[in-house]
């Protein structure tokens, strides 16, 4: 494994001199460490062979990123790996995503192992995907497993390109890959504490404040200790504390997720967060729901706007039928959120041009617009109030 600047310089030179696409993969320590940083980067290229790089020993891989910057990068589920690669200086100018290619080609199972087996006839070694990749030194079997992840990626890419070409979908895939490569980093989530698992049980604003305070305290501890937040305190424990509003640490210790092997100082730390929430004024409490950016949940449409509900029903039926005919998932044909937004606020005069403009405004690719604009226009016209 490459872990020194000298060894990295040799890899950079080798990959710069290689030819053709570059297979790229990254391993994170999700569930073990705080954040989503890369703990291993694997690459393979014709003429350069394979390389396993330790981003802990070599935290800046921008020279490597530049050396292969003009090449097509082949990744599996690119959107998962690109953020952690970007953090260490590796940003592709163009890419081929074998998972997304599999979806567009109509494969039912698009995991890397399933794709390699179905398309190329090889069985990848299983068993190390969920290990703690921050472990040092990394065991030899793990490294072998990681190297296999890029061994056949370019072969898989070539076979999928041929399959997409035969299905008439290659240009669609190219537009999708270009959109991924051009996408800016995702902005930070607003109110991430609202995504706490089990949050649907928390109804009152005071209880929501407990979730917010405990989530924030847990996040600070997790970041300081560089461990996954779930290893510091479980989501279910946070929700229990919110529902019961314990008056003291003794009562807190009686709740699931707090009593077992938890020290007094830890209990006091969590109780302090609960107390902070208990002491907030009414005006400081969080509001029940996140401010909606877009239409309300579809289940409420029939009451709020029956005509919009009718439009959405017609649009969904049309998209489902077309996705089945094209043999690809509905969400890859057009995102459900885009369909909802269009049906909630349709153009005053629904024409293919006006519908296409709205779809483009929501980020739909050209191929998607060409496929769905005619049928969505028809679905909007099917409502008598749309004319």
Question: What predicted TM-score, i.e. pTM, was given to this entire model?
Answer: 0.92
User: 337-361: string of b/e by CB count within 10 Å (b at 16+)?
Assistant: ebbbbbbbebeeebeeebbbebbee
Order of strands, edge to edge, in the sheet holding 19-28?
49-53, 38-46, 19-28, 72-75, 94-97
Q: Are 51 and 43 in contact (CB under 8 A)?
A: yes
Reported confidence tier of residue 292, pLDDT bands at 50, 70, 90? low
Q: Residue 115's pLDDT is what?
A: 96
Q: What is the mean pLDDT of residues 193-211?
A: 96
Other CB atoms closer than 10 Å to residue 364's CB: what's the count?
Answer: 22
22-76 pLDDT per residue, tens: 999 999 999 999 999 999 999 999 999 999 999 999 999 999 999 999 999 999 9
| Pairing relationship of beta strands 94-97 and 72-75 according to DSSP bridges | parallel
Angle subtended at Cα 258 by Cα 257 and Cα 261, rounded to the nearest 5 degrees = 100
110-139 pLDDT per residue, tens: 999 999 999 999 988 777 778 999 999 999
pLDDT at 386 over 50: no
Mark residue 183 as left, alpha or beta (left: phi above 0; alpha: psi -120 to 50; beta: remaining): beta
pLDDT at 382 over 90: no
Q: Is 262 helix (H, G, I), strand (E, B) or coil?
A: coil
CA distances from 262 to 217, 266, 275, 352 (A): 16, 6, 19, 62
Strands (E), the chain: 19-28, 38-46, 49-53, 72-75, 94-97
Q: Are 124 and 116 in contact (CB under 8 A)?
A: yes
How does the average pLDDT of the chain come out, rounded? 95
pLDDT at 383 over 60: no
Reported confidence tier of residue 257, pLDDT bands at 50, 70, 90? very high
Q: Does residue 10 have a cis bond before it (omega within 30 degrees)?
A: no
Q: Are 12 and 53 in contact (CB under 8 A)?
A: no
Please list the residues that pair with 44 across neighbouring strands.
Answer: 23, 50
CA distances from 225 to 34, 176, 232, 236, 273 (A): 8, 38, 9, 21, 18
How many residues does this entry show for the chain?
387
C-alpha to C-alpha distance for 133 and 40, rounded to whole angstroms: 7
Q: What is the mean pLDDT of residues 190-197?
A: 95
81-113 pLDDT per residue, tens: 999 999 999 999 999 999 999 999 999 999 999
| Pairing relationship of beta strands 38-46 and 19-28 according to DSSP bridges | antiparallel
Q: Residue 129's pLDDT is what?
A: 76
Residue-range domains of the chain with CATH: 5-182 (3.30.420.10), 192-279 (1.10.150.80), 298-380 (1.10.150.80)
Dihedral (Cα; 329, 334, 338, 340), 10-degree rounding: -60
Q: What is the mean pLDDT of residues 195-219?
A: 97
pLDDT at 387 over 60: no
C-alpha closest to that of 116 among 158, 170, 174, 168: 158
- DSSP string for residues in 111-152: SHHHHIIIII------S-TTS-TT-SSPPHHHHHHHHHHHHS
Q: Are 22 and 68 in contact (CB under 8 A)?
A: yes
C-alpha to C-alpha distance for 55 and 299, rounded to whole angstroms: 46
pLDDT at 294 over 90: no
312-330 pLDDT per residue, tens: 999 999 999 999 999 999 9
Alpha helices (H) along 226-305: 229-232, 235-244, 249-253, 264-279, 301-304
Q: What is the mean pLDDT of residues 296-320?
A: 95
pLDDT at 340 over 90: yes
């Amino acid at each position: 494994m490459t872990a020194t600047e000298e060894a990295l310089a040799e890899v950079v030179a080798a990959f710069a001199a290689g030819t053709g696409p570059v297979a790229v993969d990254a391993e994170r320590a999700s569930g073990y460490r705080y954040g989503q940083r890369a703990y291993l980067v694997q690459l393979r290229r014709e003429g350069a062979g394979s390389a396993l790089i330790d981003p802990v020993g070599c935290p800046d891989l921008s020279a490597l990123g530049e050396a292969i910057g003009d090449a097509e990068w082949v990744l599996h589920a690119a959107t998962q790996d690109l953020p952690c690669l970007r953090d260490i200086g590796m940003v592709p100018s163009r890419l081929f995503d074998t998972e997304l290619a599999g979806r567009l080609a109509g494969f039912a199972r698009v995991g890397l192992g399933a794709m390699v087996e179905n398309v190329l006839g090889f069985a990848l070694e299983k068993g190390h995907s969920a290990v703690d990749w921050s472990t040092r030194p990394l065991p030899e079997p793990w490294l072998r497993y990681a190297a296999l992840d890029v061994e056949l990626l370019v072969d898989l890419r070539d076979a999928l390109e041929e399959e997409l070409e035969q299905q008439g979908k290659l240009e669609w895939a190219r537009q999708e890959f270009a959109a991924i490569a051009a996408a800016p980093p995702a902005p930070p989530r607003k109110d991430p504490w609202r995504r706490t698992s089990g949050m649907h049980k928390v109804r009152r604003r005071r209880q929501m404040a407990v979730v917010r305070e405990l989530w924030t305290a847990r996040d600070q501890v997790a970041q300081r200790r560089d461990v996954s937040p779930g290893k510091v305190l479980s989501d279910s424990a946070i929700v229990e504390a919110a529902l019961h509003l314990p008056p003291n640490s003794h009562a807190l210790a009686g709740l699931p997720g707090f009593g077992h092997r938890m020290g007094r100082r830890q209990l006091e730390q969590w109780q302090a967060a609960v107390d902070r929430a208990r002491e907030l004024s009414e005006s400081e409490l969080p509001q029940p729901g996140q401010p909606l950016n877009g239409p309300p949940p579809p289940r409420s449409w029939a009451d709020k706007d029956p005509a919009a509900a009718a439009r959405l029903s017609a649009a969904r039926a049309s998209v489902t039928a077309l996705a089945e005919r094209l043999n690809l998932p509905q969400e890859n044909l057009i995102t459900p959120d885009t369909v909802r937004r269009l049906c909630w606020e349709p153009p005053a005069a629904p024409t293919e041009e006006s519908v296409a403009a709205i779809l483009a405004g929501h980020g739909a690719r050209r191929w998607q617009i060409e496929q769905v604009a005619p049928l969505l226009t028809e679905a909007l016209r099917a409502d008598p109030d749309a004319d």
